[in-house]
Structure 1
Amino acid sequence: MDRRNMLRATVLGMGVMALPFTAWPAAYAAPAQNATGPYGPLLAADANGIQLPAGFTSQIVARSGQTVPGTSYRWHNAPDGGAVFPNGTGWIYVSNSETSASAGGGASRIVFNASGAVVGASRILSGTNSNCAGGRTPWNTWLSCEEISLGRVWETYPLGGTAVVRPAMGRFKHEAAAADPVRRVIYLTEDETDGRFYRFVPSTWGDLSSGTLQVMVAGTGTSGSFTWATVPDPDGSPTVTRNQVSGAKAFNGGEGCHYANDTVWFTTKGDNRVWQVNLLNNTYELAYDDNLVSPGTAPLTGVDNITGSTFGDLYVAEDGGNMEICLITPDDKISVFLRVNGQSGSEITGPAFTPAGNRLYFSSQRGTSGASQGTGGITYCVTGPFRT
């Protein structure tokens, strides 16, 4: 089974299947380099201001402060991290709201039928602050993460249920989360200039109410081996979690996080890097660095949210930059997949594929207005011949 097929099994199985392999070719043995994308060049901007390759189309799904078409629900401000969940008759797109509790912080969902039409929308988390990114679990819950000092992780229930705070997962400036069903842990990023990379080991897989928070311990280089060490006080007070373990490796502004095939990738916006962690041999290295790209200029800056397709491609969104989603292929090539025009004061957030892999949802957090509270946010869907 090659890497693409293994990834397809992981994505379609959504982590419920233990994969019986012990080795495969390294996903990204060297930082990705410029190349022509698998879908060809971008065409002129469409009616929504989005440049896409031939064969792809975009539509606006929802706008902040406006009723989601086909529902009575007003879409939240500052849409950020997101994920897609199958619900038996279609799917659900979940999106965080990166704003204050008083301005509607939390998370919402949009429900689609099997043809992709909107059939419902509602709030799934309220009263929380700066819910930036997060992550999906194999048991179909959404971990909504607060990006504030002593921020918390909230487990929400897109398919129905009341959100629950998960303090055992630590209190720090949370960003993203990614579930690893093989090792039965959740990886967590921290958005600080000296942030750390963590994993949470639940006492029982599928139950996040208790467990152990650990932090990566490694050298100062861009590659090497690592170990995990337990964080003594996950509450982060009086000593913040990132300063509790000697030798814990610092990362400059942890952002998105994605797991597949015994590998976890995460991004750091402060230095425009994508990191690859090989969980079979406990090593880490760079999958992308904007200072190491050739030929020409680096296409990806403001490195932020990240997701993966069933084919094995990584899709990395920009916070600023040229408002692009860039694509990194399994053979270490990087290219621009799409560009949003006329929204330089915004950022791209929440990229997530449907289970079939033929639709990609994402948001422009502040839209054309660039308003600080994200009142101009726009959520999109791109449909086309994605590699699956």
Structure 2
Amino acid sequence: MQRRTFLRTASAGAGAVAFSGALWQGAATAGTSAAGAGPYGPLRAPDANGVALPEGFRSRIVARSSLPVGGILWHPAPDGGACYPDGDGWIYVSNSEVPLVGGASAIRFRSDGSVDRAYRVLEGTNLNCAGGATPWRTWLSCEETWRGRVFETDPYGRREAVAHKAMGRFKHEAAACDPDRRVVYLTEDEPDGCFYRYTPEVWGDLSRGRLDVLCESAGGGVEWREVPDPSAPLFGKQTRHQVGSARRFDGGEGCHYADGTCWFTTKGDNRVWAYDAERGELSVAYDADSPLDGVDNITGTPGGDLYVAEDGGNMEINVITPEGAVAPVIRLDGHGDSEITGPAFSPDGSRLYFSSQRGTLGDPAGLGGMTFEVSGPFRR
């Protein structure tokens, strides 16, 4: 790696930040990692869909923006997504990052992988970027705009979406639920953004609760402090400016919780961070130029692998393994003016869904967006 060492102890703000997270303790001495050194081997030449994959994997396009799929026109600029079990099939829900009419849509797949139907789960919202799944099988769709909101939606299409203003009004990006501490972590896409923790009064009901922001502590570590007014009134202080000691992050993006650690990405400095919720410690898990460049959405597997999508770069999804390897698993050919969004595994872990937000057209409105499925021998 050219710029920094992979998985090292790093300085963060006022004090040193110790590497944490039991999942990665064995990787701290792994040294550098090169493309192709991951668990699946090198990428082959792009297939008929323009997708380069390792041996044993295959791709298909399941939806294209502005074209019919399952009874609806698939939305433009597809972004964050998640999968949910549904009887003998499953559902993939996807945000639409366009102004005023963004919202979110869902595709239901039959047991053989064919499309059963598609439908809208959220309408009339603004720049719905990433989000996160809840343990009670709802989808948190986040508005990436000034005073943006978090909408809790029903991926099964049976209940109306609800805005949870207590989760803060700011430029929301992603959300990750921590069922162990019964909190939701939130990222903010600003050059001086913050990292938040929302604690609902009742787990499973996000309508009322407390919003905290991660801050520098006097001892050089980090601590949580309450945000005085999460509603961020029009003529008051913006949410991220209400607590002076708030820890700043350069463009918060994807967020994923697993086994006591919340992993999140920052695009401005191309880092993957690890917040050890059990120890209350923050560390840098990835900080390099290659092979992963343009960090964005993130997801993971029960076995501990992280999958990080690129915004730009060379349009890859890279796997970061607990052993310390970082390697491309997917590369899109001809999508140079797009970004990869919404990676999410099917409930059985055999299929990975994601989108190219602007597709091969690269149009700013996202009318050429493409949603893919890759299947194969993923580690679980």
- Provide TM-score, normalisation by structure 1: 0.89
User: SS where residue 240 of structure 2 aligns?
Assistant: helix
* Alignment equivalent of 2:349, drawn from 354, 357, 363: 357
Tell me the equivalent position of 1:164: 162
Tell me the equivalent position of 2:6: none
Q: 1:329 to 1:78 in 2, by over 3 A?
A: same
Match status 1:119 vs 2:121: no
* Alignment equivalent of 1:268, drawn from 266, 269, 276: 266
User: SS where residue 242 of structure 1 aligns?
Assistant: helix
What amino acid is aligned across from residue 189 of structure 1 in structure 2?
T
Tell me the equivalent position of 1:380: 372
Q: 1:385 to 1:167 in 2, by over 3 A?
A: same
What amino acid is aligned across from residue 384 of structure 1 in structure 2?
G
| TM-fit CA distance, 1:26 | 3.0
Q: 1:189 to 1:27 in 2, by over 3 A?
A: farther
Tell me the equivalent position of 1:235: 231
Q: Is the 8 A contact 1:277 1:284 kept in 2?
A: yes
**Alignment of structure 1 residues 305-344 onto 2, 5 Å:** 305-344=297-336
Work out the CA distance in 1 between the residues paired with 2:184 and 2:26: 21
| TM-fit CA distance, 1:32 | 7.4
Work out the CA distance in 2 between the residues paired with 1:207 and 1:138: 11
User: SS where residue 166 of structure 2 aligns?
Assistant: helix
Match status 1:40 vs 2:41: yes
**Alignment of structure 1 residues 1-388 onto 2, 5 Å:** 26=25, 29=28, 33-35=32-34, 36-68=37-69, 71-101=70-100, 104-159=101-156, 160-218=158-216, 225-237=221-233, 238-290=236-288, 298-388=290-380
Q: CA RMSD in A?
A: 1.8
Q: Is the 8 A contact 2:24 2:322 kept in 1?
A: no
Q: Is the 8 A contact 1:45 1:341 kept in 2?
A: yes
Work out the CA distance in 2 between the residues paired with 1:81 and 1:32: 32
What amino acid is aligned across from residue 213 of structure 1 in structure 2?
L
| TM-fit CA distance, 1:170 | 0.3
User: SS where residue 367 of structure 2 aligns?
Assistant: coil
Work out the CA distance in 1 between the residues paired with 2:87 and 2:122: 22
Work out the CA distance in 2 between the residues paired with 1:345 and 1:382: 21
What amino acid is aligned across from residue 109 of structure 2 in structure 1?
F
| TM-fit CA distance, 1:34 | 1.6
Which segments of 5 or more consecutive residues in structure 2 lack a partner in the other structure?
1-20
Aligned residues: 355
| TM-fit CA distance, 1:124 | 0.4
Q: 1:34 to 1:284 in 2, by over 3 A?
A: same
What amino acid is aligned across from residue 123 of structure 1 in structure 2?
R
Work out the CA distance in 2 between the residues paired with 1:184 and 1:58: 37
Q: Is the 8 A contact 1:64 1:78 kept in 2?
A: yes
What amino acid is aligned across from residue 341 of structure 1 in structure 2?
D
| TM-fit CA distance, 1:290 | 1.5
| TM-fit CA distance, 1:72 | 1.7
Tell me whether 305-314 or 165-174 shows the greater mean CA deviation.
Answer: 305-314
Q: Is the 8 A contact 2:23 2:304 kept in 1?
A: no
Work out the CA distance in 1 between the residues paired with 2:259 and 2:223: 19
Tell me the equivalent position of 1:15: none
Q: Is the 8 A contact 2:81 2:95 kept in 1?
A: yes
| TM-fit CA distance, 1:218 | 2.1
Q: Is the 8 A contact 1:83 1:352 kept in 2?
A: yes
What amino acid is aligned across from residue 242 of structure 2 in structure 1?
Q
Q: 1:32 to 1:226 in 2, by over 3 A?
A: farther
Work out the CA distance in 1 between the residues paired with 2:218 and 2:252: 16
| TM-fit CA distance, 1:28 | 5.4
| TM-fit CA distance, 1:212 | 0.3
Q: 1:302 to 1:240 in 2, by over 3 A?
A: same
Give a deviation string over 1:55-107, Cα, whole Å, max 9, x none. Answer: 00000000000001xx2211000000000011122110000000012xx3100
Q: 1:65 to 1:188 in 2, by over 3 A?
A: same
What amino acid is aligned across from residue 370 of structure 2 in structure 1?
I
Give a deviation string over 1:131-154, Cα, whole Å, max 9, x none. Answer: 000000000000000000000000
- Percentage of identical aligned residues: 59
Q: Is the 8 A contact 1:96 1:106 kept in 2?
A: yes
Work out the CA distance in 2 between the residues paired with 1:28 and 1:204: 37
User: SS where residue 34 of structure 1 aligns?
Assistant: coil
Q: Is the 8 A contact 1:32 1:328 kept in 2?
A: no
Give a deviation string over 1:185-209, Cα, whole Å, max 9, x none. Answer: 0000000000000010001000011
Q: 1:367 to 1:23 in 2, by over 3 A?
A: closer
User: SS where residue 311 of structure 1 aligns?
Assistant: coil
